[in-house]
């Protein structure tokens, strides 16, 4: 059995795409996932699953379960417990000794972006907010999240993929849950 994390994008935000976490846990358990645990109401799910299910199969399983039960088409991004820890370990802002974790955000990407598309985003236009890509994660150092122009919409459009963002506190809480399953 493997442990993975599923991040749902855009649920329970501003009264849209409402899904009760208790209902979601039941639906995903009935779909064959085990020890399904959620964290807060914004679509963070930790679970065990059959070793034969890869990320693509898990994404399809979760998306289809949500579509069939709740009638919603929700983007899903999957990471294994090991990948999650690697994301935390590779945070370039932590490595440089910056200790203002309240400003750290992690934008998880649905796939590795085309380098030429990323280079088209002119970082200097977004200062003092900055970002760095490492594998399938864009690490954001943002002064005030509500004011930044470094948004999902920008990166989705420019990189032609799907993203979802979590703050450092949420990332750490999910890591703790995943370590216990």
Using one digit for the tens of pLDDT, what is the confidence trace for 42-87? 899 999 998 889 999 999 999 999 999 999 999 999 999 999 999 9
Q: What is the mean pLDDT of the chain?
A: 93
> Where in the sequence is the domain holding 122, given as residue range(s)?
84-180
Average pLDDT over residues 128-154: 93
Same domain, 53 and 104: no
Q: Which of 81, 111, 128 is at the close of a domain? A: 81
pLDDT at 98: 58
Same domain, 170 and 101: yes
We report the CATH number of the domain holding residue 139 as: 3.30.70
Same domain, 119 and 167: yes
12: confidence class by pLDDT, cuts 50, 70, 90: confident
Average pLDDT over residues 33-45: 95
pLDDT greater than 70 at residue 176: yes
Same domain, 91 and 124: yes
d(CA 56, CA 77): 9
Which residues touch 68 (CB under 8 Å, ≥6 apart)? Answer: none
Are the beta carbons of 50 and 32 closer than 8 angstroms?
A: yes
Higher pLDDT, 178 or 10: 178
pLDDT greater than 80 at residue 110: yes
Q: Which of 64, 81, 98 is at the close of a domain? A: 81
Average pLDDT over residues 87-96: 89
Domain count of the fold of the chain: 2
Q: Which of 37, 65, 81 is at the close of a domain? A: 81
Residues in the chain: 181
pTM of the model: 0.93
Strand runs (DSSP E) across the chain, as ranges? Answer: 2-8, 34-39, 44-49, 76-80, 104-109, 130-134, 137-141, 163-167
- Which residue has 């963070």 as its token pair? 44
Which residues touch 79 (CB under 8 Å, ≥6 apart)? Answer: 4, 5, 7, 55, 87, 108
Q: 43 to each of 20, 127, 128, how far by Cα in Å?
A: 10, 30, 29
């Amino acid at each position: 059995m493997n442990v993975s994390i599923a991040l749902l994008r855009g649920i329970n935000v501003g009264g849209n795409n409402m899904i009760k976490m208790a209902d979601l846990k039941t639906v995903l358990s009935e779909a064959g996932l085990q020890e399904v645990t959620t964290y807060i109401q914004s679509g963070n799910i930790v679970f065990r699953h059959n070793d034969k299910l890869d990320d693509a199969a898990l994404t399809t399983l979760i998306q289809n379960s949500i579509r069939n039960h709740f009638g919603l088409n929700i983007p899903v991004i999957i990471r294994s417990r090991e990948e999650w820890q690697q994301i935390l370990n590779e945070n370039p802002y932590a490595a440089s000794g910056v200790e203002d974790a309240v400003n750290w955000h992690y934008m998880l990407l649905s796939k590795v972006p085309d380098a030429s598309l990323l280079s088209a985003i002119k970082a200097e236009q977004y200062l003092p907010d900055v970002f760095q890509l490492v594998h399938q994660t864009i690490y954001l150092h943002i002064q005030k999240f509500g004011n930044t122009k470094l948004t999902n919409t920008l990166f989705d459009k420019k990189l032609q993929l799907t993203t979802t963002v979590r703050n450092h506190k949420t990332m750490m809480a999910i890591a703790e849950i995943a370590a216990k399953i």
